[in-house]
Amino acid sequence: MSTPGQGRTNLEQQWSLVLMVQTQNEPHPSVRAKVPPTKPQVICRSNTYPKGFYCSWHLQPPPVIQTEFEVMVEHNQRVLEVERDPVHKNRCHVKFPELFSAIPYRVNVTAINSLGSAHTVTSFEEITIVKPDPPEKVEVKPIPNKVQRLEVTWNHPSTWPDVENFPLKYFLRYRPLIRDDWQHQAFSAEMHRDEGGMGFGRVGSGSGSGSVALEEAIHPGEALWRRRSFMSPLLLHPAESA
């Protein structure tokens, strides 16, 4: 049998629990202040050229209530068809209506919720958003009987649909880890390709471990992506390097 003091203690604990639940159910401070959505931050890119491009967007800070987005893309006084991405809810895809056009594209993304709306308009030319995805299956391996040489191989990005008519150029940087300065070498898709379509190049590694970074571009001077690999030809194949 509990004493009167113990009963009050249990009652106070029950009231404390109820108050905590009520506090968690209160609306977010930004909702109470009736803050409308901020302007969307929009990025457009073509990694499947010449098929089309995609645009993605996000709000900063993220919305605390349900927010819808309306997207309109225009080119040459024509509204283009927009296909929403089935996986990424804040992304859409657009097909190029024509190629090599100097007329800018205009993208308008509007964020809408119960507290208001905000929109961002961005314009760009076709060539400025063409950026291929990374090279795939990048590998670095030693060359037998040449301890200061490395062979680098890679596959073209699988998302790039037409390597024959729209060839890529690859930029490779390499250096021994004990040095700070990089050496550079460029490879075109036509000049350095094996029978299976894989790109390859050979570089001098110097002594000991080396670091190799592969860059990719659709034309010289526009490096768009890089991946770094590490290799020690002396350690991987000591028998061949003897």
| Average pLDDT estimate for 14-22 | 41
Chain segment 156-180, per-residue pLDDT in tens: 889 999 988 998 888 777 777 777 7
pLDDT at 169: 82
Residue 160: name the closest of 43, 46, 45 by CA: 46
Q: How many CB atoms lie within 10 A of CB 102?
A: 7
Contact criterion met (CB below 8 Å) for 71 and 108: yes
Instruction: Give the span between the Cα atoms of 15 and 20, in whole angstroms.
Output: 9
SS (H, E, C) 188-233: ECCCCECCCCCEEEEEECCCCCEEEEEEEECCCCCCCEEEEEEECH
C-beta separation of 132 from 121 below 8 A: no
pLDDT of residue 1: 53
Q: Please answer whether residues 130 and 218 qualify as being in contact, where contact means their C-beta atoms are separated by less than 8 angstroms.
A: yes
Give yes or no for a contact between 148 and 205, defined as CB atoms under 8 angstroms apart: yes
Query: Could you report the per-residue pLDDT of 35-87, keeping only the tens digit for each?
Result: 789 999 999 999 999 999 999 999 999 988 999 999 999 999 999 999 999 99
**191 confidence band (pLDDT: 50, 70, 90):** very low
- Of 5-9, 125-129, 202-206, 207-211, the least confident: 207-211
Has residue 218 got a pLDDT over 80? no
DSSP category for residue 46 = B
What's the rounded mean pLDDT across residues 135-151? 79
Which among 176, 43, 59 has a CA at the least distance from the CA of 115? 59
- DSSP class of 149: E
Q: Which whole number is the average pLDDT over 10-39?
A: 54
**Mean pLDDT confidence for 123-150:** 85
Q: Do the beta carbons of residue 209 and residue 229 sit within 8 Å?
A: no
CA separation for the pair 168, 219 (Å, rounded): 7
pTM of the model: 0.67
In angstroms, the CA 160 to CA 133 distance is 8
Can you tell me the distance from the alpha carbon of 73 to that of 110, in angstroms, rounded to the nearest whole number?
12
Cα distances (angstroms) measured from residue 156 to each of 43, 97, 160, 191, 220? 24, 26, 7, 14, 17
Domains annotated on the chain, with CATH: 31-129 (2.60.40.10), 136-241 (2.60.40.10)
C-alpha closest to that of 75 among 44, 105, 45, 107: 105
* Higher-pLDDT residue of 145, 222: 145
Could you tell me how far CA 85 lies from the centroid of its own chain? 15
